């Protein structure tokens, strides 16, 4: 259940989701670890479940049932948070946003360092670095980005457990700084003892261009998908749902 345990398992079986096109680091992709991080948080420790916040009770026609419209609890603070907390809605919302903003701040710093490390590694390859010289560095990048992704892919986790997420992000930052120290030394050994020229990736379009995506092709494939595949899904859903029992709503 811990970020380090998952990483150790993936390392042991030599698993890689994809190879990074710039640095050639063997990357891992985190898949929404909401449950794992939530389970280490204060609400889990006090026995508060996902459904307490995301599926609060509602009453209709004298019947009490859980709301199956799973959504942000902030759309319904009265029935989710205020069942237990006495604070005003605005205070509870602020408590959530404060935690999200602070986690976002350090996660962005880790992200900036990751981008730089990928570019530095690309330059090292370009100057003739060997697999042997890069091995350790690429593992540091893998481990640091695994932590970034773990923090980014669990969408509710900066509230579910801000402390655990901050711990994960800060260890990611240590790992990427290790990688960048090693890269600075390696680049110097390879004859480049200057600051590295980082690309301008200040917009999404510039970043896409830098990594060499053929956006014209990808966008036209997406258009085609929206036109042809999605209508089939909607049709299938309509047929399926026509067989469901009529709801009280």
Name, in order, each residue with C-beta under 8 angstroms of 28's C-beta and a sequence gap of 6 or more: 7, 10, 15, 16, 17, 142, 145, 146, 149
Which string of x and - marks every residue 149-188 that binds ligand HEC (by CB under 6 A)?
------xx--xx----------------------------
**Which segment (15-23, 66-74, 199-207, 228-236) binds ligand HEC by CB under 6 A?**
66-74
Q: Does 34 bind ligand HEC (CB under 6 A)?
A: yes
E strand intervals along the chain: 18-19, 26-27, 57-60, 63-66
Containing 41, the helix (H) or strand (E) segment is none
Could you give the CA distance from residue 247 to residue 63 in angstroms, rounded to a whole number? Answer: 13
- Comparison of 24 and 43: residue with beta carbon closer to ligand HEC: 43
User: Do 48 and 38 touch, CB atoms closer than 8 A?
Assistant: no
Could you give the CA distance from residue 109 to residue 106 in angstroms, rounded to a whole number? Answer: 5
Among 28, 30, 96, 103, binds ligand HEC (CB under 6 A): 96
Q: What single-letter DSSP state applies at residue 76?
A: G
Could you give the CA distance from residue 53 to residue 223 in angstroms, rounded to a whole number? Answer: 37
**Which segment (15-23, 48-56, 109-117, 192-200) binds ligand HEC by CB under 6 A?**
48-56
* Partners of 58 in the β-ladder: 65
Q: Does 50 bind ligand HEC (CB under 6 A)?
A: yes
Q: Does 143 bind ligand HEC (CB under 6 A)?
A: no
* Partners of 59 in the β-ladder: 64
- Comparison of 26 and 154: residue with beta carbon closer to ligand HEC: 154
Q: Does 80 bind ligand HEC (CB under 6 A)?
A: yes
In the complex, residue closest to ligand HEC by CB = 156
Among 20, 25, 30, 73, binds ligand HEC (CB under 6 A): 73
Closest distance between ligand HEC and the C-beta of residue 131, in Å? 39
Q: Which residues of the shown chain bind ligand HEC in the complex (CB under 6 A)?
A: 34-35, 38, 42-43, 46, 48, 50, 52-54, 72-74, 80-81, 83-85, 92, 95-96, 155-156, 159-160
């Amino acid at each position: 259940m811990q970020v380090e345990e998952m990483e150790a398992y993936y390392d042991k079986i030599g698993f890689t989701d994809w190879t990074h096109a710039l640095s050639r680091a063997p990357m891992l992709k985190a898949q929404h670890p909401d449950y794992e991080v939530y389970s280490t948080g204060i609400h889990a420790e006090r026995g508060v479940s996902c459904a307490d916040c995301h599926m609060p009770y509602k009453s209709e026609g004298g019947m009490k049932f859980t709301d199956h419209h799973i959504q942000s609890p902030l759309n319904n603070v009265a029935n989710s948070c205020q069942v237990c907390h006495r604070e005003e809605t605005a205070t509870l919302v602020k408590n959530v946003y404060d935690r999200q903003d602070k986690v976002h701040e350090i996660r962005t710093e880790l992200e900036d360092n990751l981008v730089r490390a990928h570019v530095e590694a690309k330059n090292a390859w370009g100057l003739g670095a060997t697999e042997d010289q890069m091995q350790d560095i690429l593992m540091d990048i893998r481990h640091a980005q695994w932590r970034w992704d773990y923090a980014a892919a669990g969408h509710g986790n900066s509230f579910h457990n801000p402390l655990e997420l901050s711990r994960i992000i800060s260890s990611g930052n240590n790992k990427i700084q290790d990688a960048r120290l090693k890269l600075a030394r390696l680049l110097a050994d390879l004859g480049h003892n200057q600051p590295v020229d980082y690309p301008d990736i200040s917009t999404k379009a510039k970043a896409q261009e830098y990594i060499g995506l053929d956006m014209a092709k990808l966008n036209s494939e997406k258009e085609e998908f929206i036109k042809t595949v999605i209508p089939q899904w909607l049709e299938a859903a309509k047929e399926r749902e026509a067989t469901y029992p009529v709801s009280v709503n």
